[in-house]
Amino acid sequence: MLTVRGLTKTYATADGSFQALKGIDFEIPAGGFYTLLGESGCGKSTTLRCVAGLEEPDGGSIAIGGEIVTDTARGVHVPAFDRDIGLVFQSYAIWPHMDVFANVAYPLKVQRPRIVAADIKARVMDALRLVGMEDFAGRQATKLSGGQQQRVAFARALVRRPKLLLLDEPLSNLDAKLREQMRFELQELISRTGVTTLYVTHDQSEALAMSDTVAVMSGGRIVQAGAPREVYGQPDNRTVAHFLGSANFLRGRIVEAGDGLATVALADGAVSIAVPSRGGLAAGAAVDVIFRPEDVTTHLDPAGGAIECAVERVVFQGGMSEYQLRLGATLLRTVVHPSVSAQPGDRAWIAIRPERCLLFSAE
């Protein structure tokens, strides 16, 4: 449904120029949910704005439903209003001087060829029913809560029955509890409509929970794309490991390698662990052993684990506690059940699940 090839974009700045996009390639099949995930400035919103027709890229092509809407080599740039898309911004962009019905109806009233009034009314009410706002059709936009305004924005984006739905940080203005509720509602809405969706966010939990495919962006490039479990559990590089969830890094040196395993002597203790090895890492190589906090078991007695640490900080988070443990010069993060009670300064012993570890060259 969406094909993006070789997308580049450079902005002029006070001290020269800034290349926001450095060759973006991806595809979304019909009905797919594709998320661009990354920190501020990585290029994710610029990519979405190029797809929407709100920005003209310097290079590359974009096709929606098989129709070329951008092709810089041929000078093609279809304006946003002629692209078969629905668009929801972070700010909702609800017009305060209109009621809910008029806000949702606006895209149909300016559409060409014109739609008769009876069809407009039917489609607007269908869209409002989709988001549970049919009883608010006559309500002024200024008298809506943030969550209600967001539902109206979704209805307005869907009322044209677009081929492609573009969502740019649509939940970031909501408080934490409402954001979680709206996330589930949005998933259900997209599932019911079957609309192809390109989603932009910096929120890892949104990306992992909602997407068919997560594409992690950094420095104007997609550095890894795949199913959420794949990208989280098998990051290709440090950037992805750092950004998706929390990752622990332990420096070590390979003392033996072969048969897909490497025995690594950890630099912060006289402990060796055997972990899965990627190709190209031989005995003697300096490496970082990378593992998630949830892949560590923490004990308060030496019988439970082989690696001794000092408890530096305990952060209670309701259903779990996060322990920050000092191992030489390295600070590790682990998660434990809140019934386990330790204080800063206590000793702790950890056991790392070796099959969940990843190795990267320390170079």
The vertex-90 CA angle with 205 and 80, nearest 5°, equals 120
Contact 7, 57 (CB under 8 A): yes
Structural domains in the chain, sorted by start: 2-242 (3.40.50.300), 247-361 (2.40.50.140)
CA distance 24 to 59: 10
- What number is the average pLDDT over the span 35-56? 96
Q: What are phi and psi of 323, to 5 degrees?
A: -105, 135
* Per-residue DSSP letter, 183: H
- Give ∠ CA 21-25-28 in degrees, rounded to 5: 125
Contact 61, 23 (CB under 8 A): no
- Per-residue pLDDT reduced to its tens digit, 292-350: 999 999 999 888 777 899 999 999 988 899 999 999 888 999 999 988 889 999 999 99
If one compares 270 and 107, the residue with the highest pLDDT of the two is: 107
In this prediction, residue 61 carries a pLDDT of: 98
pLDDT band at residue 129 under the 50/70/90 scheme: very high
pLDDT at 269: 58
Highest mean pLDDT (candidates 12-21, 69-78, 101-110, 259-268): 69-78
pLDDT above 90 (res 244): no
Q: Does 246 or 80 have the greater pLDDT score? A: 80
Query: Looking at per-residue confidence, does 163 or 175 come out higher?
Result: 163
Q: List C-alpha distances in Å: 294 to 47, 113, 316, 325.
A: 33, 56, 15, 14
**Residue 268 pLDDT more than 70?**
no
Element (H, E) at 88: strand 85-88
Segment 12-27 shows an average pLDDT of: 94
Per-residue pLDDT averaged across 190-217, rounded?
95
The single-letter code of the amino acid at 28 is: I
Q: Kindly tell me if the per-residue pLDDT of 270 is higher than 80.
A: no
Order of all β-strands in the sheet with 16-28: 16-28, 2-13, 59-64, 67-71, 76-77
- Alpha-carbon torsion (291, 295, 297, 298), positive or negative: positive
Q: pLDDT tens digits for 206-232?
A: 999 999 999 999 999 999 999 999 999
Q: 278 vs 93, which has greater pLDDT?
A: 93
Mean pLDDT of all residues in 58-80: 97
Can you give the pLDDT at residue 168? Answer: 95
User: Strand 330-336's sheet: what is its strand order?
Assistant: 296-299, 347-352, 307-316, 321-327, 330-336
CA angle 352/314/298 to nearest 5° reads: 20
The whole-model pTM stands at 0.89
Mean pLDDT over all residues of the chain?
91
